[in-house]
Copies of this chain bind each other. A is one copy, B any other.
Amino acid sequence: MPRPIILGVVGDSAAGKTTITRGLVRLLGEEHVTHIAADDYHRFDRRQRAEHAITPLHPACNYMDIMEQHFREVRAGRPILKPVYRHQDGTFGAPVYVTPRQFTIVEGLLGYHTEALREVFDVRVFLAPLEELRRKWKVDRDCSRRGYTTDQVLEELDRRESDSATFIRPQRRFADIVVCFVPGDHGQFDAEVTLGRGLVHPDLTPFVDGDQRGLTIVDAGTEHTLAISGGIDPGYAATIEEAIWDRMHFASHLRSERLGEFTVGTQLHRSESLALVQLLVLYHLVTARASVALGADGLRVAS
């Protein structure tokens, strides 16, 4: 079996990592995807972090070397005994045996912090939503699912700000795809997508048409940041999606209507901009898979 393809989904707490990932897993098929949360590699449990006054965003609060070791093993197709951090109560459990499948998705805070980590990934996504949006998402999630109060979450966000600025946000420069969600019209989210030089991306500039139908270039000088309007015309979005699928016709058996879904509370929503972002990521995953299956080491462009 060719080695697994490794996707990194890195970003601050509550930046939308799981939302991006979920649709990709659905398309690729759960049975083909191994999922690793880098939070499992925390060095200190919740109590110890409070004692040491250290946030999980600090590299010293994580086993960076073990992460490198394990991810290298996974990339080579070898199983690992993965540690387990339990968000429910902030403690560690017994480790679990994980066999890498065709695709491995690593979600985490510090995935691109060291060069050895960066080298593991075939595709590096970085999520950088507007900070005000991320704070809202974090409050919503941590209160509903991790048992905190709103005030606790807001205090925690303040406590983490310095480490976010020092360790998390600078990682965006290593990403192949930086996604910045910002609130758009009608409660939709616009996505600003910055495409890095480490991979050759599908050319979407033919679809840029000013503000007319929802795809614009943010900085006319560079052409590498596109804005996808949350209110993009669905027919037009379908046309763009079609163009991307054209370039990966060998993967057309994966086509599905289910990209772009996300939940708020228990309610299911759909976002055209999210769907397009997911499809771009999928494009790189399946082309990397094809390349590796044909004997190459992947599609990363030497920088």
Q: Is A102 an interface residue (CB 8 A)?
A: no
Q: Is A293 an interface residue (CB 8 A)?
A: no
A94 touches B97 (CB 8 A): no
Residues of B close to A73: CB separation below 8 A: 69
B83 touches A78 (CB 8 A): no
Q: How far is the CA of A79 from the CA of B83 in the complex (A)?
A: 14
Residues of B close to A80: CB separation below 8 A: 66, 69
Q: How far is the CA of A73 from the CA of B95 in the complex (A)?
A: 18
Q: Is A43 an interface residue (CB 8 A)?
A: yes
Q: How far is the CA of A63 from the CA of B78 in the complex (A)?
A: 12
B78 touches A69 (CB 8 A): yes
Q: Is A235 an interface residue (CB 8 A)?
A: no
For the complex, count residues of A whose C-beta is within 8 A of B. 19
Minimum distance in angstroms from A98 CB to a CB of chain B: 10
Q: How far is the CA of A280 from the CA of B91 in the complex (A)?
A: 44
Residues of B close to A79: CB separation below 8 A: 65-66
Chain B's closest residue to A65 (CB) is B79
Set B43, B93, B97: member contacting A66, Cβ < 8 A = B97
Residues of B close to A92: CB separation below 8 A: 94-95
